[in-house]
Amino acid sequence: MSVGSYLLRRTGGLVLVLLVTSFLVFGLLYLAPGSPLAFILGPRGGTPEQIAMVTEQYHLDDPFVVRYAAWLGDILRGDLGYSIVYRQDVSALISGRVGTTLALVSMAAIIIAVVGIGAGTFAALRGGWGDQLTSTFAAVGLSTPSFVIGVALISVFAVGLGWFPTFGSGTGGVDTLWHLTLPAIALSVASAAYLARITRAAVLEESGREHVQTATVRGLAPQRIVRHHVLRNSLIPIVTVLGLTIATLIAGAVVIENVFALDGLGSLLVRAILQRDFAVVQAVILVLVVAFVVVNAIVDFLYTFIDPRIALGSRQ
Amino acid sequence: MFPPKTMITAASIAAAALLLTACTADASETHTGLSLDLDNLATTTTAGTEPVDEVKWNLPYEPMSLDPIFGFNYAENTVTANLCESLVRMTPDLSTEPGLATAVAQPDDTTLVYTIRDGVTFWNGNPLTADDVAYSLQRQVGETATSYFASYFVNVDSVEVSGPSEVTVKLKQPDVLFAQAMGTAAGAIVEKAAAEAAGEAFGTPDGGLQCTGPFQLDAWNSGRSIELTANPGYWDPALAPKVQRLSFSFIADESTAVNALRTGEVDGQFFYLPPAGLSQLENGDDVTTTYGKSLVFWTMITTNLTGGLADERIREALSLAIDREGLAKVVFQGAAVPATTLAGPDYWGYESDAFATAYEEFSADVDLERAKQLVAEAGAPAEPIVLAVQGSSAVHEQTANLIQAAGQAIGLTIESKVIPVEQFGNLYFDESAREGLDGFFTTNYGNFADPLDVYTMFHTADSHNYSGWDGADAPLAEARATTDPAERAELVIEAQEQITKGLSWIPLAYEPVTLVQNTRISGATASFAYLYAPWAATIGGVK
């Protein structure tokens, strides 16, 4: 398949996924009890006249199909909608926060890749106590919720030792990296543990392969064997898991952003859901879905580089 | 008033619960000692004397708007109180003094004439005019006005400029709540030109703001922070800020907020519910905790008078069986006072002796014998009494447990029904959301020191009177139209007696303001006035 038709197919798929997701999100939010009225009218609830006026102004009583169609039309024109709770354009709300989430997820992804692949390879090649130790850590890491790790990290490294800030995303550059270190670690622990397990299994499997044994018998340097024969061939499962993990990080960020009071998409989403701020919820979820699909597409793309025998777009 | 607290408690519970388990031993030791004395709640903190470059303050959540007419909630008002000034200024002891109006004349019961202060400028240098004042009030008048304070404007007939620095408000009928509301954000003045130019965006991160307060809005970085700087042209030397920059963060997670205070990354915060980490803060060397006079109370609202709580005797029995001392000590970690009426002593802004005498009649003592007798007389309801509890709120759940136990002790079956935090807010204005419920819990507050402000919610015409309880309509209506303080107090006391005995809302606890400040600064207003008057203007460094 040529790159052109691959991209075309991917884009088609993306549009379809977005359409289905948007329908589901819109539909579910529509069915769920509650309305943004409580937040628009404010704490004193409002008089019947006010309720009627606000309902009319924001088309809260329009039938589902009408609202959905209007919203889709706006999206197609590049208009993500208007947050009736914040009295602001949704695109402004999102653009101010997307950077933090992107930085957080990127840092976590790097940690996951380095620690996960490193620990898994170490466990497989070292064996014995190294394997035991890594597996134990992996089991603990996998079974501890990220917010627990977050709270623990804050109390030890931020409050106890004072090495890191307790909250916020800093003022940019190095300061942001410093602020995002603990959240990124908290976010990456479970995924790194999972990746370590996958890597360990993949490396063990490859190590037992015939061509590796042949290479060993031929007396090639062990490091060369590990790099060229074992790791290279283990990459397919590792990259697959890494890709999926990064995609799920976006969802995990929702929790971590709250614990560390970060101004990302996750904390925006949580508040928007609580306030029934339809336009914001839909737009943020759309952004997350696009990110998910794009990451998966990149993983697919990487396959052909890792193993040229895999054709572009095939699902081997 | 509704769920200022809902979203916040939600966000913080998981981590807070952890923290609580982590320091239970610690908490139980220190907290037996903390008991609040109603007569000894603070109004101010020692004034800071040194200039300070920057003070970092935390809000429990990000404000939705800084436009004063949309500020009827903790985070919003905490910020706008320093930015936008009202016609009347609330003082730390909850009385009032002249604000942007130097004088208020009342030629008759339905006319109020405000003399606008000379020499006041907005942050942009434009002078404050009577036009700006009239505009700020006018935009809250009318049936479809979306101001959160619209209920104070229902009796306003017209607002007009009646002289170069004079604004006259005509009322359709006498209304003592209107005049007092001018000391809250309802009376806050914004620049007409700026508000009209920004339209709906006024007060949002994009739309900016234009007021006269001691601090000016520098930037609102959506999602991240709100930055204020001292207003160099501020008219009142007594409240000229010693703090150059005042920046607000929005840490919703309670334990994260407590940690940020402990490490000094944040210099202060007002808590409206005692945080789970209160003991850690009180034991810390680097922060001071002050409990201030407050108009906030914790109550159980009866949603209908047809179910299990229909019989007044059953409500009285339940009220008599509730251990309010225990509630204040356990649920509020000692940072609350048992409530016998809804509007407690801090509300007595006038005729306080009369209110005090009337208050003496009510008691928070448990009387199980009398309660059992009442249940026997009325007959226990066949169906269980269902109370709504806000999901993942420790204060809600613990209160419900306590009331369930109280009910059990006197032969009442009480069930709690958990309502997810995202739906809890609907209980306040959506009748269908209250179906199948007999009651729910809420924190609530009146806006100024007049018990009538709270009790007005019990008039049958008020949207907060969910059960349609109608035992005090006459004195309430009359009190609202009575300008003479002594006469009004009499009527309010009459209404209070009916309301307190009728128990369509059961009073549970008075919640003081919990102010936490880093020891490097001092001077923040400690009382409820922090929501409506410049509480940060008195902050300074401590040598």
Across the range B288-316, mean pLDDT stands at 93
Give residue A145's pLDDT. Answer: 86
Q: What is the pLDDT of residue A295?
A: 82
Distance from CA of A84 to the nearest CA of B (A): 10
Please give, rounded to a whole number of angstroms, the shortest distance from the CA of B538 to a CA of chain A.
27
Instruction: Give the nearest partner residue to B429 out of A41, A165, A166, using CB atoms.
Output: A41
3-class SS string, B289-340: EEEEEEEEEEEEEECCCCCCCCCHHHHHHHHHHCCHHHHHHHHCCCCCEECC
Lowest mean pLDDT among A229-243, B366-380, B446-460: A229-243
CB-CB neighbors (< 8 A) of A270 in chain B: 11
Window 219-248 of B, Cβ < 8 Å to A = 221-224
pLDDT bin (cut points 50, 70, 90) of residue B21 is very low
**Cα gap A253→B198, rounded to integer Å:** 34
Question: What would the pLDDT profile of B171-214 be if each residue is shown by its tens digit?
Answer: 999 999 999 999 999 999 999 999 999 998 999 998 899 999 99
User: How confident is residue B15, by pLDDT bands cut at 50, 70 and 90?
Assistant: very low
- Is B15 within 8 Å of chain A by CB? yes
B9 pLDDT band, cuts 50/70/90, is: very low
Q: Would you give the distance in Å from CA B62 to the centre of its chain?
A: 17
A42 vs B7: CB contact, 8 Å cut-off?
no
**pLDDT at res. B540:** 95
One-letter amino acid for residue B127 of the chain = P
pLDDT band of residue B422 (cuts 50, 70, 90) is low
Query: Does residue B57 sit at the A interface (CB-CB below 8 Å)?
Result: no
Residue B361 pLDDT: 93
B464 at A interface, C-beta within 8 A: yes
Can you say whether the dihedral through the CA atoms of B326, B331, B337, B340 is positive or negative? Answer: negative
DSSP B481: T
**What 3-state DSSP class applies to B88?**
strand
pLDDT band for B34, please (50, 70, 90 cuts): low
- Could B421 and A158 be called an inter-chain contact, meaning their C-beta atoms sit closer than 8 Å? no
Site from B1, B253, B454 to mutate, A interface, most A CB atoms within 10 angstroms:
B253
Question: What DSSP string runs through B267-295?
Answer: -EEEESS--TTHHHHHH-SSEEEEEEEEE
* Interface touch B223/A165, C-beta < 8 Å: no
Choose from A40, A58, A87 for mutation: most chain B CBs within 10 A: A87
Question: Measured between CA atoms, how close is B529 to chain A, in angstroms?
Answer: 18
pLDDT of residue A314: 59
Facing residue for B251 by CB, picked from A86, A93, A167:
A167
Give pLDDT, residue A316. 44
pLDDT the model gives residue A40:
74
Nearest beta carbon to residue B255 from set A85, A151, A270: A151
Closest residue in B to A36 (Cα–Cα): B426
Q: How far is A278 from chain B (nearest CA, A)?
A: 13
pLDDT digits (tens, 9 = 90+) for B253-291: 888 899 999 999 999 999 988 888 888 888 888 999 999
B contacts of A55 (beta carbons < 8 Å): none
Please state, in angstroms and rounded to a whole number, the distance separating the CA atoms of residues B183 and B92: 12
Of A39, A54, A97, the CB nearest to B146: A54
Task: Choose among A277, A276, A296, A300: nearest CA to A288.
Answer: A296
Between chains, do A43 and B18 touch, taking CB under 8 Å as contact?
no
User: Is A45–B150 a contact, with Cβ atoms under 8 angstroms apart?
Assistant: no
CB contact set of A170 (below 8 Å; sequence gap of 6+): A176, A177, A178, A179, A180
Q: Under an 8 A CB cutoff, do B425 and A38 touch? A: yes
Does B426 contact A33 at a Cβ distance shorter than 8 Å? yes
pTM of the model: 0.85
B423 interfaces chain A, CB cutoff of 8 Å? yes
Question: pLDDT (tens digit, 9 = 90+) per residue, A129-178?
Answer: 888 888 889 898 888 888 888 888 888 998 888 898 888 888 878 888 89
What is chain A's pLDDT, residue by residue, as a tens digit (316 residues)?
A: 677 887 888 788 878 887 888 788 778 877 776 677 777 776 666 677 777 777 777 777 788 888 888 888 888 887 888 887 888 888 888 988 888 898 999 999 999 999 998 898 888 888 888 888 888 898 988 888 888 888 888 889 988 888 988 888 888 788 888 999 999 999 999 999 999 998 888 888 887 777 878 888 887 777 777 777 777 778 888 888 888 888 788 778 888 888 888 888 888 888 888 777 888 888 888 888 888 888 888 888 787 777 777 766 655 4
Alpha helices (H) along chain A: 3-31, 37-41, 48-57, 64-76, 90-111, 117-126, 128-143, 146-153, 174-207, 210-217, 222-224, 232-259, 265-274, 278-306
The mean pLDDT value of chain B amounts to 89
CB contact under 8 A, A274 and B62: no
Chosen for mutation from B258, B429, B432, B518 (greatest number of chain A CBs closer than 10 Å) is: B429
